[in-house]
Amino acid sequence: MKKSISIFAAAILMLLLPLTASAAARDTIKIVGSSTVYPFATVVAERFGKSTKFNTPVIESTGSGGGLKLFCKGIGVEHPDITNASRRIKQKEIDNCAKAGVTDIIEIKIGYDGIVIANSKKADVLALTKRQIFLALAPEIPHPNGAKQLIKNPNVTWRDVDSSLPNIKIEVLGPPPTSGTRDAFAELAMEGGCKTFKWLKDIKKENKKRYKAICRSVREDGPYIEAGENDNLIVQKLNANPKALGVFGYSFLVENSDSIQGSFVDGVLPTFENIAQGDYKVSRPLYFYVKKAHIGTIPGMKEFLREFTADKTIGQDGYLTDKGLIPMPSGEYSQFRSAARKLSTLSGLN
């Protein structure tokens, strides 16, 4: 009996302990954010932890939006120091940050990520245009006779979309709506194809909401298959089903170049050079955001920034390029590198 009382006391102690401990200082950098930046940020963090005397930063993959939400909760050791994003911060998020006292934010672009539409090597390489992608995957498409009228997408095979394409069923495995990759795919590929219809483009001026609903939605009647956030799974499914296409980040194409191949989009293949030069249009910038107020309080922040923006990391031949990151052109790079050195903060989106 006495024993169980002492166990009880220990349990209650354990419950109270963190209340005092969490107020104490933190000596490890905490990073949250995009699952697309995660594979790059973790490599930098690991090198940083192993080559300096600082602890290895802890990185949690929460998605871009989730990361910014956590990031903007406030200043202090209980909040993350850095958040990764596979898109730029929104004005609304800057305002939310400011409301919680997070005003000085350093914005660093680390490079670009291509979004590839790929299939198994067992099948032929496909040459698609954005317009064809839109016609194959939008829930509603313009009437084929050219009338300014939307009809439910009747296309079943790629041949239905365009007579130059093979006669196989449209099956596209891609990420779910919670994913940043999906957002970028919808914005760059789908909307890009949508814009080629002039009358649809004109809707943007009148009714932005309706325009987005038409151009950025993905059909839900079967051809687009949500395969979860796990890009490896998509790659495996493509190997099992050579007729299917998959949508994922360029880094997965790099790692699996022996079994899958990227499709041409508007006549351009997703290769390192094409994405870096901006010829391959379905690509997006990757960022991370730093709380300036935490520099100096959390040890190693300045050094981590320096490591992440070093030439050996995100420069033309940096080690992140081996992991599939597309580096920025040198002019843009030096701009962000000096921003990291001078710790210059974001002053509105331009």
The residue ranges that bind other proteins (CB under 8 A) are 1, 4, 7-8, 10-11, 14-15, 17-19, 21-23, 26, 28, 30, 38-39, 42-43, 45-46, 49-53, 55-56, 58-61, 78, 121, 229-232, 251-252, 254-258, 319, 323-324
Whose Cβ is closer to other proteins: residue 158's or residue 288's?
288
Min dist CB 208 to other proteins, Å, is: 34
305-312 LR contacts (CB < 8 Å, sep 24+): 305/106, 305/108, 305/340, 305/343, 306/340, 306/341, 307/44, 307/47, 307/48, 307/52, 308/41, 308/44, 308/48, 308/108, 308/110, 308/340, 309/108, 309/110, 309/336, 309/337, 309/340, 309/341, 311/337
Whose Cβ is closer to other proteins: residue 66's or residue 139's?
66
Buried b (16+ CB within 10 A) or exposed e, 209-243: eebbebbbbbbeeebbeebebebeebbebbbebee
Whose Cβ is closer to other proteins: residue 43's or residue 165's?
43
What is the identity of the amino acid at 167? N
Min dist CB 135 to other proteins, Å, is: 31
Chain-centroid distance of CA 70 in Å reads 17
CA atoms within 13 A on the CB side of 242: 7
Min dist CB 259 to other proteins, Å, is: 9
Min dist CB 177 to other proteins, Å, is: 18
Three-state secondary structure readout of 83-137: EEECCCCCHHHHHHHHHCCCCCEEEEEEEEEEEEEEEECCCCCCEECHHHHHHHH
Min dist CB 86 to other proteins, Å, is: 15
CA atoms within 13 A on the CB side of 121: 6
Whose Cβ is closer to other proteins: residue 49's or residue 223's?
49
Contact of 138 with 214, CB cutoff 8 Å: yes
Whose Cβ is closer to other proteins: residue 45's or residue 94's?
45
Whose Cβ is closer to other proteins: residue 162's or residue 229's?
229
Min dist CB 64 to other proteins, Å, is: 16
Whose Cβ is closer to other proteins: residue 46's or residue 202's?
46
Min dist CB 301 to other proteins, Å, is: 16
Contact of 112 with 271, CB cutoff 8 Å: no
Min dist CB 310 to other proteins, Å, is: 13
Whose Cβ is closer to other proteins: residue 60's or residue 187's?
60
